[in-house]
Structure 1
Amino acid sequence: MLYATTPPAEKRRLFRERLAGGELLRFPGAFNPLSARLIEQKGFEGVYISGAVLSADLGLPDIGLTTLTEVAGRGRQITRMTELPAIIDADTGFGEPMNVARTVQEMEDAGLAGLHIEDQVNPKRCGHLDGKQVVDESTALQRIRAAVDARRDPNFLIMARTDIAAVDGLAAAVDRAKALVDAGADAIFPEAMRSLAEFEAVRDAVDVPLLANMTEFGKSELFTVEQLSSVGMNIVIWPVSLLRLAMGAAVRGLDELTDAGALTGRLDEMQHRAELYELIDYEGYNHFDTSIFNFTVDR
């Protein structure tokens, strides 16, 4: 009932323990708090909160228009609804080193288990768009050092994302990953890898957890969990998938209303009201205090 019962510090501790175990952890992207609860119900290991999804939710493109307040606020709403650890996309840290430091503490306060900071220039753009630019190595390392220095909970995961492969090639991505680890990054997110061999090259170069981004319609081939595990990946995200599925269903539903004037033909595609009530835990609220909450859950 209400919010998750596992304290954020405990979520982080359990997440770091599991991450150290070497298994591949699956983090589908939640586009709202309810979808985070569904991810938990379906047995996944964690929740990912995508900057692209947060931008799209506001009707904006993913080009660095969202603010720290917006992202941290949405992160808090999502992570408090699930017992799972959540990792959030913090873009470039919403500024330079001091801003990055504040970002880390705001995300800690929001209950997140970790974040990633990327090495793109401001304003950034979606990692699978052409024309990206990255900062010089010194600036990239300053961001990560600031993040690590600002962290209060040692189990809060500081992940460094590098977009340099799309700009200067795989060898540059390997070199930058090494430097980011030396700067204190707990994990590396090599963005827009094109093949399993590229993931494997980064795996061979660094001895920290690695994240694979399996976003649809992007630069990376969509590999299976088994394939990614075979080359040593530790976390896999599907950042925008649930939003794409939901919006695709919404398009088809609106077209059905236009064409048929009713949604009778789409009922079997909908989440039943009883399933929604179970996910929200109406019964738990009903039993909390029947002298106050006295209603019947229709089935």
Structure 2
Amino acid sequence: MSKPITLIGAPTDIGAGMRGASMGPEALRVADLKATLESHGLFVEDLGNLAGPSNPWSPPVDGYRHLDEVIAWNHHVHDAVLGALQQGSLPILLGGDHSLAIGSISAVARHCRAQGKHLRVLWLDAHADFNTSVITPSGNLHGMPLACLCGLGPTELTGLSDQRPAIDAAAIRQIGIRSVDLGEKQLVHRMGLDVFDMRYIDETGMRHTMEQALFGLDENTHLHVSFDVDFLDPEIAPGVGTTVPGGPTYREAQLCMEMIADTGRLGSLDVMELNPALDLRNKTADLAVDLLESLFGKSTLMRRA
């Protein structure tokens, strides 16, 4: 029997460079996320939205914008995600900007160590999100979550899990990357991350990409998917604050989600950076829900399994 699903809203754009991602959780609810998942026989509980500090919209200090507020939000996210996991549920964090993945994945990593499980993180994103306060061009913490999770950042964020770093770089598979700052690129190479960028997808196809990204999963692996909606091509998903042309098409994205579902290993999920203020009639939220449905049972397969 499938695990129950827990929806956790985190309505903040505290780590972003543009306002609007704070409305992402409600846009996903308007797009009938809960009912869509329930249509596949899943039990879904919506815990509503977490509360945290408001966005002061201040300039960076020592290379970080809104560091104190980002820390506070990530503590709330960590505790909520960890609580859901400990109760045997599959948490879906509804963002909000991608800085919140620090708290989410820190909680998942802590839970995996307690359960003796291996962790694999699929980072679906147009951006590497591996900046630090030294190399960031903006100070926005939504460009730093993976670096923080790998131990590069302020101790209040790198120490959210039960050990520092929260995760090993070897656990990460980045997919769809196509916008990386120069200093960030050098850091990603130095840390040895597995990156399946858009050129790789263009050259080898989404099927081969996902086969490589999912290689080695076994029954003792917890798979976490951190899905930044700007992973998708902006022609089909305009409702994000940091659009980058040349992302996966609808069919490529569907194949990506279906192959993840085929593993049966999905244990937790982030849905990040949806910005309804930039969307058209909730088009991007509807698409995101459609893709999430593929993670939980919808398939184009007509042949028997």
TM-score (norm 1): 0.35
Greater RCO, CA 8 A, separation 6+: 2
Structure ranking higher in helix proportion = 1
Structure ranking higher in strand proportion = 2
TM-score (norm 2): 0.35
For the pair shown, the structure with the greater C-alpha radius of gyration is 1
